[in-house]
């Protein structure tokens, strides 16, 4: 079994143990050169069969294995737009999904710079307009957005996060969920956000996307 397959199965088990993939929701992928390994449709992330993953080309062509998750266009769009992306996590985690049902904080980010860790580990997270799950047009919009990002919220749907490794993508997805939980907990209460200067300094230091 390849290391990539093992890493993907371990990532699914970790996310499921944290309660971030209810039922058979969510899907994971990892890039192996010019191919993508992705969880098949209907996969329970707590029990990924590392030997039963689907293999796609970067353009989404199905090469091996069972039918892929219908969200595969989002995964391949991230890989095509960002050569540094080596793994993608899509979840229906409760708080990030709830945040996806709210209006975006700005054009570049659905969530504000509430904590330094959100800026350091995730960066700006645009809200993509609603589309039915698996809609290739939404994936095309993600691929073509003209500013940098490594994570997005799909309106009324949930988060999709990329990373330079499976571990990085999982950690970013967890941080995004925690930030969304904080935003929802604070509600309409007065709150202090990081200033533009503070957020920009963190983004520059940690190499994350934040354009304000």
Q: How far apart are CA 57 and CA 59, in angstroms?
A: 5
Note if 117 is an active site residue: yes
Residue whose structure tokens are 């996969």: 43
Exactly one of 64, 107, 117, 198 is catalytic; name it. Answer: 117
Q: How far apart are CA 177 and CA 97, in angstroms?
A: 9
Which residue, 107, 35, 41, is CA-closest to 68?
41
Helices (H), 51-148: 72-81, 94-100, 116-121, 136-144
How many beta carbons lie within 10 A of that of residue 7, not counting itself? 19
CB 163 within 8 A of CB 170: yes
Exactly one of 71, 175, 177, 178 is catalytic; name it. Answer: 71
Note if 79 is an active site residue: no
Residues identified as active-site: 71, 117
């Amino acid at each position: 079994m390849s290391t990539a397959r093992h890493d993907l199965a371990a990532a699914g088990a970790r996310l499921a143990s944290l309660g971030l993939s209810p039922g058979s929701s969510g899907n994971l992928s990892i890039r192996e050169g010019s191919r993508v390994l992705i969880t098949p449709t209907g996969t329970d992330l707590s029990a990924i069969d590392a030997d039963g993953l689907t293999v796609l080309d970067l353009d989404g062509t199905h090469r091996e294995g069972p039918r892929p998750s219908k969200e595969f266009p989002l995964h391949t769009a991230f890989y095509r737009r960002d050569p540094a992306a080596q793994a993608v996590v899509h979840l229906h985690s409760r708080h990030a999904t709830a945040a996806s049902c709210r209006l975006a904080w700005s054009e570049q980010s659905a969530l504000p710079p509430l904590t330094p860790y959100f800026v350091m580990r995730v960066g700006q997270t645009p809200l993509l307009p609603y589309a039915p799950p698996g809609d290739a047009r939404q994936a095309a919009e993600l691929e073509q957005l003209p500013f940098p990002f490594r994570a997005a919220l799909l309106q009324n749907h949930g988060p999709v996060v990329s990373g330079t490794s499976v571990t990085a993508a999982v950690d970013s997805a967890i941080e995004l969920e925690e930030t969304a939980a904080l935003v929802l907990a604070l509600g309409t209460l007065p709150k202090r956000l990081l200033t533009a200067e503070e957020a920009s300094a963190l983004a520059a230091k940690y190499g994350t996307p934040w354009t304000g």
